[in-house]
């Protein structure tokens, strides 16, 4: 099915809970009301016309100026070889949306990642906890206003730029090469011959 046909099927089933097909540079998408996302996803997976049997990816984008976080669902059908994208828009101050872990098990870790890095609450998730950072980490690093603390349990979080290390290594190599050149030049220089002894004139 084409994206237009899939949107029409969803609109016929869910009405105003599903928005119009939105144009994009590459992949069109539809906006879904957060409360309906789990039901819409279950329908897309089980309906024989769509058969979206794979959640390829679940990600999120932070929009501080809009006070909004978007959660994006990339779906694929192995049966029909078509793709589709859903989005939900959440209040940035308290982003929460029902889990789709019961529809696709792949959502388990994908939702935990967005919870960890952006602070999105997936209600109904069976094990919603951080997946990359320690449980007591403060804040969500992919939020655009995130400020990292100076240390974590007295361990500095300041990391040197790798470029600084390369510059130091380059300088060390240059100094070593200069010393080698000086040593080679010293060995190649001819030794000074002793001055000949002066002959005494006969008296």
Cα separation values, 73 from 84, 127, 139, 170, Å: 8, 20, 24, 46
Q: Is 149 within 8 Å of 134 (Cβ atoms)?
A: no
Is 155 in a helix, a strand, or coil?
strand
For the chain, the domains span 3-147
pLDDT at 156 (0 to 100): 82
Compare 58 and 194 and report the one with higher pLDDT.
58
pLDDT at 199 (0 to 100): 65
Q: Is 73 within 8 Å of 58 (Cβ atoms)?
A: yes
pLDDT at 202 (0 to 100): 66
Confidence of residue 203 (pLDDT cuts 50, 70, 90): low
Tell me the per-residue pLDDT of 10-68, one tens digit each, with 9 for 90 and over. 999 999 999 999 988 788 999 999 999 999 999 999 999 999 999 999 999 999 999 99
Query: Is 194 a residue whose pLDDT tops 90?
Result: no
Compare 57 and 197 and report the one with higher pLDDT.
57
φ/ψ (deg, to 5) at 124: 90, -5
pLDDT at 191 (0 to 100): 61
Structure tokens at 119: 């602070």
What CATH fold (topology level) applies to the domain 3-147?
Beta Polymerase; domain 2 (3.30.460)
| CA–CA gap between residue 187 and residue 153 (Å, rounded) | 56
Cα separation values, 65 from 18, 59, 68, 69, 144, Å: 24, 19, 8, 10, 10
pLDDT at 197 (0 to 100): 64
Tell me the per-residue pLDDT of 132-151, one tens digit each, with 9 for 90 and over. 999 999 999 999 998 888 88
| CA–CA gap between residue 125 and residue 133 (Å, rounded) | 18
Smallest Cα–Cα separation from 3: which of 75, 80, 83, 68?
83
177: burial class by Cβ within 10 Å (0-12, 13-18, 19+)? exposed
What's the N-to-C CA distance of the chain in angstroms? 125
Tell me the per-residue pLDDT of 90-120, one tens digit each, with 9 for 90 and over. 999 999 999 999 999 999 999 999 999 999 9
Range in 1-5, 49-53, 160-164 the model is least confident about: 160-164
Structure tokens at 196: 């000949």
pLDDT at 67 (0 to 100): 97
Query: DSSP assignment of 39-103, as one string?
Result: HHHHHHHHSTTT---EEEEEEEEEEGGGTEEEEEEEEE-TTT--EEEEEEEEETTS-EEE--TTT
């Amino acid at each position: 099915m084409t994206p237009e046909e899939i949107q029409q099927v969803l609109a016929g089933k869910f009405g105003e809970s599903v928005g119009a097909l939105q144009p994009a540079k590459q992949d069109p998408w539809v906006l879904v009301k957060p409360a309906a996302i789990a039901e819409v996803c279950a329908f897309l997976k089980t309906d024989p016309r769509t058969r979206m049997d794979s959640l390829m990816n679940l990600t999120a984008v932070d929009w501080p100026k809009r006070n909004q976080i978007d959660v994006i669902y990339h779906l694929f059908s192995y049966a029909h070889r078509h793709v589709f994208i859903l989005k939900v828009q959440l209040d940035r101050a308290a982003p929460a949306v029902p889990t789709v872990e019961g529809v696709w098990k792949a959502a388990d870790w994908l939702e935990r990642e967005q919870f960890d890095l952006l602070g999105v609450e997936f209600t109904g998730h069976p094990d919603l906890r951080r997946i990359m950072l320690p449980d007591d980490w403060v804040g969500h690093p992919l939020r655009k206003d995130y400020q990292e603390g100076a240390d974590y349990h007295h361990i500095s979080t300041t990391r040197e730029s790798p470029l600084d290390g390369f510059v130091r290594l380059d300088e060390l190599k240059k100094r070593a090469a200069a010393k080698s050149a000086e040593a080679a030049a010293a060995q190649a220089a001819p030794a000074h011959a002793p001055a000949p002894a002066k002959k005494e004139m006969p008296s």
